[in-house]
Structure 1
Amino acid sequence: MTRVVGPQRIVCLTEEPTETLYALGEDRRIVGISGFTVRPAKARKEKPKVSAFTSAKIDEILKLQPDFVVGFSDIQADIASALIRHGVEVWISNHRSVDGILDYIRRLGALVGAGERANAYADALARGLDEIAAAGRALPVRPKVYFEEWDEPIITGIRWVAELIDIAGGIDLLPARAIEPLAKNRIIADDREITQAAPDIVIGSWCGKKFRPERVAARPGWQDVPAVRDDELHEIKSPLILQPGPAALTDGVREIQRIVHAWAARRA
């Protein structure tokens, strides 16, 4: 007789556990997902959407009778608290680095009895990053890259994004900001902090809304910034880079690599 291992009715409050469980072949366990989920595309067709990022339909989640709920960060603390008071087991991960993402995949896999598959998947992702890093190190010149995840107020990129910029061959413009786990500590009150650092490339990913490069270019004092002067203002869609899961380590980092290597090729 086969013993059932791990939770059987999982609600995913963010996209990365959904993408991870699908990748591990454990999607049958998922009974509810975030409304922001776009990866994999079939998840939106197969699973009911019961949460946003800062809010959730608690009654709808309870109707699904979950035995495990997975979320991310302090921003979902109120959702977690409400579910815990209803007796639901909740795991709120809080990883903010590339190594943290890889470890998250391993831990989630272990929780559902797919530890070996999760380890193999994480190892494959890590090898892919090593290949990208080797190509980045071979660049004759590396650009300074400013990543912006919100514009009003200006918020610079989180740690895993900064690390992926370095892996892809760029130089993160504001590394001291990137290590701050909370968005409020990555708010740029005076954008001379950015302009005086003279980024060669600006990448915008405005957390769910369209990046507007013309607005960046029109900011007072930005006209002489190399990225603006050379029309190096680029967008990466937030589902590819701002969720701390497989997407960032695959399509997200490859988009950064494409932008960085194209910049370098034009200056070779």
Structure 2
Amino acid sequence: MRLPLAMKVPALVVTAALSAALLGACGDSTTEENSKSKTVSVEAANGTVAIAAPAKKIVSLSPTATEMLFAIGAGDQVVAADALSNFPSDAPKTDMQGMTPNVDAILNYEPDLVVLSFDPGTIESQLKKAKVPVLVEAPATSLADSYDQIQDLGIATGKKEEASDVVQKMTEDIDAAVKSAGELTERSYYHESDATYYSATSKTFVGEIYSKFKLKNIADEADTAGTGYPQLSAEHIVNKAPDFIFLADTASGGQTAQTVAARPGWNTIPAVQNGKVVELNEDISSRWGPRTVEFAVSVSTALKG
């Protein structure tokens, strides 16, 4: 999976490993409500976080979290979002960077909640000193993680029912996309995260989507380090001759079906020969929010075509 665009490879591998550790440390979100203080406790990747709910002045430094917040109807509660939060179009995008956040810039918005996908240093501890709660919702490693994060944000914003509705609809729509692909047979694929051949295995969030369509990942056996995001060689890809190639580096890397076909030796790959090089929407394929449904539809469409 390509993580948010600011997380460039090979930093992606380090971030993914940290995210997996954080996610492994947390369980399902729980809520404890005190009628006097009106606080809720949310179990996120950074542990139990006490929030005065509903949070009404949220700073989101995660494009995925921004999409989730708007999807559950909490968009009006977001006062600022990072520079990569380009969806929906009315998100309050700023020049703040999620990977290199500035505490003073964040505090200028007087937030009552800050949402991060990654803490590059001491941002969480600095915000805690300012008595601002922080939710770290790390890059999801599975659909279950994504659903859990949506529920977390629902608890924090007073939109629990709406969050449950979003999760239910995502589940139903992804299942419908799989069903619409017709009879599924095992075929191979290569997911390209960037033009240096970093990929994502079946153990990742994006890999889980492909697995629902019974697609076999040619990156799995190459992941000797177990990061989930191995760097393949051109020789490996050509020798494995995938039936499909999915490009998640169309915008940042300028890759297209034509550039792939022009690579030495790649004209022998069935995906290239049969017109099965799929140009994905880079944002949708790198995030783990509600628009994952659109990613699943793209895969379904490719299999039917």
Verify same fold: TM over 0.5. yes
Match of 1:156 among 196, 199, 210: 199
Amino acid at match of 1:106: Q
> Following TM superposition, by how much is the alpha carbon of 1:125 offset from its aligned partner in structure 2, in angstroms?
0.9
1:32 aligns to what? 80
> Following TM superposition, by how much is the alpha carbon of 1:64 offset from its aligned partner in structure 2, in angstroms?
0.6
Q: 1:19–1:39: 8 Å Cα contact kept in structure 2? A: yes
Aligned length: 252
Change (3 A) 1:150 1:80: farther
1:100 aligns to what? 145
Determine the C-alpha separation between the residues in 1 that align with 2:191 and 2:267. 18
Amino acid at match of 1:226: P
Change (3 A) 1:132 1:156: same
> Following TM superposition, by how much is the alpha carbon of 1:149 offset from its aligned partner in structure 2, in angstroms?
1.2
TM-score (norm 2): 0.72
Is 2:5 the counterpart of 1:5? no
Change (3 A) 1:218 1:50: same
Q: 1:146–1:199: 8 Å Cα contact kept in structure 2? A: yes
Change (3 A) 1:79 1:144: farther
- 1:32-79 deviations in Å (ceiling 9; x for gaps): 112122221222xxx141423422344322211112111214xx4237
Amino acid at match of 1:164: I
Aligned-residue RMSD, C-alpha: 2.9
2:67 aligns to what? 19
1:127 aligns to what? 172
Q: 1:68–1:90: 8 Å Cα contact kept in structure 2? A: yes
Q: Which has the higher contact order (CA 8 A, sep 6+)?
A: 2
> Following TM superposition, by how much is the alpha carbon of 1:13 offset from its aligned partner in structure 2, in angstroms?
0.9
Determine the C-alpha separation between the residues in 2 that align with 1:126 and 1:29. 26
More helix by share: 1
Determine the C-alpha separation between the residues in 2 that align with 1:118 and 1:53. 24
Where do residues 33-182 of structure 1 align in structure 2 (5 Å cutoff)? 33-43=81-91, 47-73=92-118, 76-78=119-121, 80-81=123-124, 83-84=126-127, 87=130, 88-94=132-138, 95-136=140-181, 138-139=182-183, 141-151=185-195, 153-157=196-200, 159-168=204-213, 170-175=215-220
Change (3 A) 1:207 1:86: farther
Match of 2:245 among 202, 211, 215: 202
1:228 aligns to what? 272
Percent identical across equivalent pairs?
Answer: 20
> Following TM superposition, by how much is the alpha carbon of 1:242 offset from its aligned partner in structure 2, in angstroms?
0.6
Amino acid at match of 1:29: Q
Query: Structure 1: which 5+ runs fail to align?
Result: 263-268
Q: 1:146–1:156: 8 Å Cα contact kept in structure 2? A: yes
